[in-house]
Structure 1
Amino acid sequence: MNQLILEKLQEIEEQFQVKILYAVESGSRAWGFPSKDSDYDVRFIYVHRPDWYLSIDPQGIGEKRDVIEMPINDLLDISGWEITKALRLFRKSNPPLLEWLKSEIVYYEKYSFIENMKNLESDIFYPNASLHHYLNMAKSNYQSHLQGTTVKIKKYFYALRPVLACKWIEENQSIPPIDFDELLEAMVPEGELKKEILLLLDRKKAGVEIDLEEKISAIHDFLEVEIVRLEAYVRTLTEKPEDSTGKLNELFRDTLEEVWE
Structure 2
Amino acid sequence: MNKTENKQLQEIVSQQEYPLLFATISGAHLYGFPSPDSDYDLRGVHILPIAEVIGLNSPRETIEISRLEENIELDLVTHDIKKFFGLLLKRNGYVLEQLYSPLIVYTTPEHEELKAIASSCITKHHVYHYLGFAQTQWRLFSKENSPRVKPLLYVYRVLLTGIHLMQTGQIEANLVKLNQQFQLPYIPELIDRKLQGKEKSTLTNTDIDFHEREYLRLCQTLESASQSSNLPENPAAKQILHDLLVRVRIRYGKI
Aligned-residue offset at 1:231: 4.9
Aligned-residue offset at 1:198: 1.1
Q: Which residue pairs with 1:226 in the alignment?
A: 218
Q: Provide the secondary structure at the position in 2 that maps to 1:63.
A: coil
Q: Which residue pairs with 1:136 in the alignment?
A: 132
Q: Higher relative contact order at CA 8 Å, sep ≥6: structure 1 or structure 2?
A: 2
Q: Is the 8 A contact 1:26 1:43 kept in 2?
A: yes
> 2:35, 2:177 → 1: CA distance?
18
> 1:85, 1:151 → 2: CA distance?
36
* Structure-to-structure mapping, 1:1-261, within 5 angstroms: 2-13=6-17, 18-55=18-55, 57=56, 63-73=58-68, 75-110=73-108, 112-128=109-125, 130-146=126-142, 151-172=147-168, 174-186=169-181, 188-189=182-183, 194-207=184-197, 209-214=199-204, 215-216=206-207, 218-231=210-223, 240-242=233-235, 244-259=237-252
Name the TM-score, length of structure 2 as normaliser. 0.83
> 2:235, 2:148 → 1: CA distance?
41
Gaps of 5+ in 2: none
Q: After the TM superposition, which parts of structure 1 deviate over 4 Å for at least 4 consecutive aligned residues?
A: 147-150, 231-239
Q: Which amino acid aligns with 1:36?
A: P
Number of aligned residue pairs: 244
Q: Percent identity?
A: 23
Gaps of 5+ in 1: none
Counterparts in 2 of 1:63 and 1:203: CA distance versus 1, 3 Å:
same
Aligned-residue offset at 1:169: 2.5
- CA RMSD in angstroms comes to 2.9
Q: Is the 8 A contact 1:134 1:163 kept in 2?
A: yes
Aligned-residue offset at 1:35: 1.5
